[in-house]
Structure 1
Amino acid sequence: MSSATNSQLAIRTRSWMFTPATRPDRFANAAKSQVDVLIVDLEDAVQPDEKAAARGNVRTLLDAADNTALPPLAIRINSLLTRFGLDDLIMLLDAKHAPQFVLLPKIESPEQVLQIDTLLTAAGKTTWLVPMIESARGLSVVEPIAQSCSRVAALMFGAADYASDVKAQPEALALQLARCGVAAACAQAGVLAIDAPCFALHDAERLHADLTFAAANGFEAKAAIHPSHIESINTTFTPSAERVTWAKRVVEAAEKGAGTVDGRMVDEAIAREARRVLAAA
């Protein structure tokens, strides 16, 4: 697999919504929210005594002949440092079909990603990987994690677990710095940066502020835990018509070798920005 880019993924990846694997009745309803990627969660959303049943629901989903009515699927497995995670991985390797993405929680070394890549490759699976950065240790090696293998499509920041690990409050500067670190590592590796969910489910002002920060600091997508957030996320990460027109003018000027657009010199950095806008449009 070559390194992932937005164009290579060939699907929109602005919004990623978590849904408990214990609630298969919600899978079909997710499409109504216009979410880009449905995350079927085997980890935090599932109690220990429900793990086996939840895993069975995912296996049924992946063995189904036709899931075209659903959004692209991501499966969040349990940590591979647990028996639950090992059982989840075996299920994925044995399933008839592979999900588009597998979310890897609590990744703290590139070697953890490489081990999973090796197993998926041996099984002939073309699934993309999304390591989650949820601890100080993970953040300390975020760049090699992002560049660990060509199967990595994105990194997702896990704000709740990170805050717990570093003993920070939800609005602390420590979390904002960590978010920026994840986004910068993704930019360097050329993979998608996915921000953590906004946990204020019914606070539109808080969601707007959260999205504004994410978009301004290099994130290209955001997770959600409630369908009411999907429209705002999709709008935030979809370039406006004016922005697309600007990008087309910049690319045209760049192809001619010189020039300015709106009084701004068109150099390679500006051209890259314009191409990113067009890729996200």
Structure 2
Amino acid sequence: MTRTAPAAPPGPPATPLTWLYAPGDRPQVVAKALAAGADVVVVDLEDAVAPERKGYARAATADLLGEVQPVPVHVRVNALDGPLARADLEAVAGLPGLSGLRLPKVTRPQQIAAVAEATARSGGGGPPLYALLESALGIERAYALACAHPALRGIALGEADLRADLGVREDAGLDWSRSRVVVAARAAGLAPPAQSVHPDTRDLEGLAASCAHGRALGFLGRTAVHPRQLPVIERAYLPTARELEEAETIVTAATDRPGAQALAGGRFVDTAVVAAAQRTLSLARRS
């Protein structure tokens, strides 16, 4: 009798825009998050879980990931330089329902490489890794961290901790760090980073304005802490009708004149402009 291999966990859409956090010690909240329509659900074992609940959160998350879920599930483990991360990784890294690991407070490339080696499966790679840069040192080393290991698929900011580390009082004080992470990700060949969470779940106007600012800086998508934030984030990051029309005009002009500089909408466009237009159209067609 032959056995059917267990199903692989679903990968995120080609261009995920929404990443919804849920506390690992509240399985009922995790269940709601899985049905909320996010592209990726991030089960949090770190900041959202009180110290006395860490063990329960880890066990509950391992139980969840014993089966493949309908939505990609990532797990944010505890700080890599603390006593809990090893137990977190041992509990979840090899489970069939895990689609990625989010590593908080990363400051050294060696931390990423160590996690990649510790979670590698026999005869194959381990889960995709995502590093969170949450300190001045992490920002200064952004490019080195982005290049740390092939298992690393993305970097992003943890703005609450970064704000505290820098002593920043106004939101604009984080813009240099934001741009630094966007540039480092691009230079390393990674996907554009997603924005950090907007903590006020009732301030949807502020969320929309913040997303527009993040999009202008080069971010793509955003993490959320409540399902009501998801449609706001998606609307902010999907192309507008005008952007789609411009992209279609550029791609059509380039198709009509392959290998040559094309004229679209009264302006000449080169290869880089065409590639950007193709990315816009791809984003609009995302599943």
Paired residue secondary structure (1:16): strand
After superposing on structure 2, the runs of 4+ consecutive aligned residues of structure 1 that deviate more than 3 Å are 8-12, 122-126
Mapped partners of 2:273, 2:242: distance in 1: 16
Q: Note if contact 2:23-2:30 (Cα within 8 Å) is conserved in structure 1.
A: no
Task: Give the drift of 1:104.
Answer: 0.3
Q: Note if contact 1:108-1:138 (Cα within 8 Å) is conserved in structure 2.
A: yes
Determine what percentage of the aligned residue pairs are the same residue: 28
Supply the AA of the counterpart residue of 2:163.
Answer: A
Mapped partners of 1:115, 1:259: distance in 2: 48
Supply the AA of the counterpart residue of 2:84.
Answer: F
Mapped partners of 1:98, 1:33: distance in 2: 18
Residue 37 of structure 2, aligned match among 8, 28, 34: 34
Task: Give the drift of 1:33.
Answer: 2.7
Q: Which runs of 5+ in 2 are unaligned?
A: 1-10
Q: Note if contact 1:239-1:277 (Cα within 8 Å) is conserved in structure 2.
A: yes
* CA RMSD across the alignment: 1.8
Mapped partners of 1:237, 1:35: distance in 2: 14
Paired residue secondary structure (1:33): coil
Task: Give the drift of 1:190.
Answer: 2.6
Q: Note if contact 2:20-2:227 (Cα within 8 Å) is conserved in structure 1.
A: yes
What is the match of residue 262 of structure 1? Answer: 265
Pair member with larger Rg: 2
What is the match of residue 164 of structure 1? Answer: 164
The structure that is helix-richer by fraction is 1
Q: Note if contact 2:249-2:265 (Cα within 8 Å) is conserved in structure 1.
A: no
Mapped partners of 1:154, 1:96: distance in 2: 21
Residues 1:277 and 2:276 are matched in the alignment: no
Q: Mapping of 1:163-182 within 5 angstroms?
A: 163-169=163-169, 171-182=170-181
Instruction: Tell me the alpha carbon deviations over residues 11-30 of structure 1, each in whole angstroms, 9 at most, x when there is no partner.
Output: 44101111000111122212
Task: Give the drift of 1:120.
Answer: 2.2
What is the match of residue 186 of structure 1? Answer: 185
What is the match of residue 27 of structure 2? Answer: 24
TM-score (norm: length of structure 1) = 0.89
Paired residue secondary structure (1:195): coil
Paired residue secondary structure (1:60): helix
Paired residue secondary structure (1:100): strand
C-alpha change, 1:46 and 1:268, in structure 2 (3 Å) is: same
Q: Note if contact 1:98-1:125 (Cα within 8 Å) is conserved in structure 2.
A: no
Mapped partners of 2:90, 2:35: distance in 1: 31
Instruction: Tell me the alpha carbon deviations over residues 154-213 of structure 1, each in whole angstroms, 9 at most, x when there is no partner.
Output: 2121110001111111x2433121111111211222323111111122122311221111
Instruction: Tell me the alpha carbon deviations over residues 77-117 of structure 1, each in whole angstroms, 9 at most, x when there is no partner.
Output: 00121111111011123x43151111000000111111111
Q: Note if contact 1:130-1:154 (Cα within 8 Å) is conserved in structure 2.
A: yes
TM-score (norm: length of structure 2) = 0.87
Higher-RCO chain (CA-CA 8 Å, sequence separation at least 6) = 1
What is the match of residue 4 of structure 1? Answer: none
Q: Mapping of 1:207-222 within 5 angstroms?
A: 207-222=207-222
Supply the AA of the counterpart residue of 1:258.
Answer: Q
Q: Which runs of 5+ in 1 are unaligned?
A: 1-7
Range 48-57 or range 125-134, more displaced:
125-134
Q: Note if contact 2:58-2:91 (Cα within 8 Å) is conserved in structure 1.
A: yes
